[in-house]
Amino acid sequence: MPLEFSNTCRGFRKIKFSDDYALQCSLQESSIDRPGGCIWIGLENPAVQYGPRLISALPLIQKAADEANIAMGAATPGDVLMDGRMHLTREMAADLIPVLQYFVQTGHLPDAVEENQNEVPNKENK
């Protein structure tokens, strides 16, 4: 599975890839300052499904959000279903192991993964 390494506009490392359904996914360093570091992992654009109560109210909610210049949020948990789970094959999961192992060891995401070895390069070998 191809992994695309980059940095966000704020300088946090980000790794993009596609899951088994060809949905865009990513691993990204978090801006939250916690001992050991934190990462985000999941779909770039999770699917959102609206329940019947919210669908009928969407035009009013959107109008109010537009007038207040704010992003729309969910009214109640029963009105919105978001699915942000990735669907990975065993091979895809194996491709992510070196990246996750590097995070476990260092608290950061790597800059790259060696192409043929499926390993994060040692800093001494760079």
Boundaries of every domain in the chain: 1-46+84-126, 47-83
Task: Output the six-digit token pair for 76.
Answer: 């109640």
Q: What is the mean pLDDT of residues 15-22?
A: 93
Average pLDDT of every residue of the chain: 77
Q: Which residue has the higher pLDDT, 92 or 119?
A: 92
Query: What are the tens digits of pLDDT across the range 77-91?
Result: 456 666 778 899 999
User: Confidence class of residue 53 from pLDDT cuts 50, 70 and 90?
Assistant: low
pTM: 0.65
Which residue, 15, 8, 23, is CA-closest to 88?
A: 23
| Range 111-118 contact pairs with CB under 8 angstroms and sequence separation of 24 or more | 111/5, 111/13, 112/5, 113/3, 113/5, 118/94
User: How many other C-beta atoms are found inside a 10 Å radius of the C-beta of residue 17?
Assistant: 19
pLDDT at 124 over 80: no
